[in-house]
Amino acid sequence: MPLLVMKFGGTSVADLDRIRNAAEKVKREVERGYDVIVIVSAMSGKTNELVGWVEETSPMFDAREYDAVVSSGEIVTAGLMSLTLQEMDVPARSWQGWQVPLKTTSAHSAARIEEIPRENIDAKFAEGMRVAVVAGFQGISPEGRVTTLGRGGSDTTAVAFAAAFDAERCDIYTDVDGVYTTDPRIEDKARKLDKIAFEEMLELASLGAKVLQTRSVELAMRFKVKLRVLSSFEENTENSGTLVCDEEDIMEKNVVSGVAYSRDEAKMTLISVADRPGIAAAIFGPLAEAGVNVDMIVQNISEEGRTDMTFSCPVNQVGRAEQAMQKAKEDGDINFGSLIADTDVAKVSVVGIGMRSHAGVASQMFQALSSEGINIKVITTSEIKISVLIDRKYMELAVQALHDAFGLDKAA
């Protein structure tokens, strides 16, 4: 039989009524002739509660025990989903990560999937099971310990199963009905996309769009797994939601497909750094070791033999970055006049595969921002993305202006 993977996020299984609603959707796919692998998240808010309990019990916790505790939320959901399907006369069985087994690395709380053997689940399908309900977010290490994949890991679990079992498609059920040209809460003319390319979705996810987790999109692109983003709270048809697929599967392409934003950004500038070979490594090496996620980088020549180095990072990593730079200065690795942190900025980006074959996108973007009196602090570009740092107070205005400038309320 053809196989489908269906993933339900925390809001989709937040209580017994929502689990029953999700189970009805699974039952309909079984009635259409599919064997189904269902990946479930913990009930909404449960993982945060479990993490809180761990941190209250042991502030310097053992990561192995952390995983043992926080993985339990998905186990509860999987059991309840399986029981609900059984009550609907659908042959279903729940599976914990170690029972599959979903094999991972030993990096507790940030494990990566290494292998998903098919034999155990295939054997149960052959015996008449129609639905395997798998606890997402978790696996088993080479040492035989439970591991977790990090926040959003259930999306990654779903895509990995779709790849391992050659699924026809991987449906991600969430609290939104698809991928939009931008956040509808900011721009009421935002339009739901019927299709979006893997590369575009990867950029949007990495830039702050919360619909899909970045690792899951990377995995889908690598293994050519077709993803469909759907709402758990609407009646869906074959054309519902947004299909994330290969660029070749999209007939009509807008030059720009979406506008993304991130409000939790900071701009940091090292003033008067020695302009010499190796200075970039001397700066960004210590930042990487301190776990600072550097994004945009701009270097400006100041006085002779000196340079100013500007970079952006998440606002909650500013303190870590300041400590790393101060230590590097004290150790004599770098010398700078001062370090200025601007924590009142936001990043706004336009993304689109059509940018590869169209000139003038940057000019159009900058003109749209200029028309609204928005000053650009930092610019970075890639083949299908242009990002700018601006004052945070202008973020929503910038998103709206760019959405209008590129006509994203209209289909291609």
User: 295-312, pLDDT tens digit by residue?
Assistant: 899 888 766 778 899 999
- Asked whether residue 207 carries a pLDDT value surpassing 80, the answer given is no
**Is 215 labelled as part of a ligand binding site?**
no
**Is 10 labelled as part of a ligand binding site?**
yes
Strand segments, DSSP code E, in 71-202 are 92-95, 103-104, 113-115, 131-135, 138-140, 146-148, 169-174, 195-197
Whole-number Å distance between alpha carbons of 164 and 220: 11
**Is 103 labelled as part of a ligand binding site?**
no
Q: So what's the pLDDT on residue 347?
A: 94
Poorest-pLDDT segment among 42-56, 194-208, 334-348: 194-208
Give tens-digit pLDDT for 142-162: 999 999 998 889 999 999 999
**Is 261 labelled as part of a ligand binding site?**
no
> What is the pLDDT averaged over residues 105-127?
95
**Is 180 labelled as part of a ligand binding site?**
yes
**Is 360 labelled as part of a ligand binding site?**
no
Closest CA to 351 of 228, 196, 223: 196
**Is 74 labelled as part of a ligand binding site?**
yes
Structure tokens at 274: 């020695």
**Is 134 labelled as part of a ligand binding site?**
no
> What is the pLDDT averaged over residues 33-46?
96
> Peptide bond before 101: cis, by omega within 30 degrees of 0?
yes
**Is 276 labelled as part of a ligand binding site?**
no
Q: So what's the pLDDT on residue 312?
A: 94
Q: How far is CA 369 from the centre of its chain?
A: 27
Q: How far is CA 127 from the centre of its chain?
A: 36
CB 293 within 8 A of CB 317: yes
**Is 119 labelled as part of a ligand binding site?**
no
Residue linked to tokens 């609907």 = 88
Distant-in-sequence, close-in-space partners of 149: CB < 8 Å, separation ≥ 6:
104, 110, 111, 112, 113, 137, 138, 139, 156, 157, 215
Q: How many helices (H) and strands (E) does the chain have?
A: 12, 18
> What does CATH list as the number for 3-175?
3.40.1160.10
Give tens-digit pLDDT for 153-206: 999 999 999 999 999 999 999 888 888 999 888 999 999 899 999 999 988 887
Closest CA to 396 of 263, 203, 201: 263
**Is 394 labelled as part of a ligand binding site?**
no
CB 278 within 8 A of CB 285: no
What is the pLDDT confidence band of residue 391, given thresholds at 50, 70 and 90?
very high
Whole-number Å distance between alpha carbons of 197 and 243: 8
**Is 7 labelled as part of a ligand binding site?**
yes
What is the pLDDT confidence band of residue 31, given thresholds at 50, 70 and 90?
very high
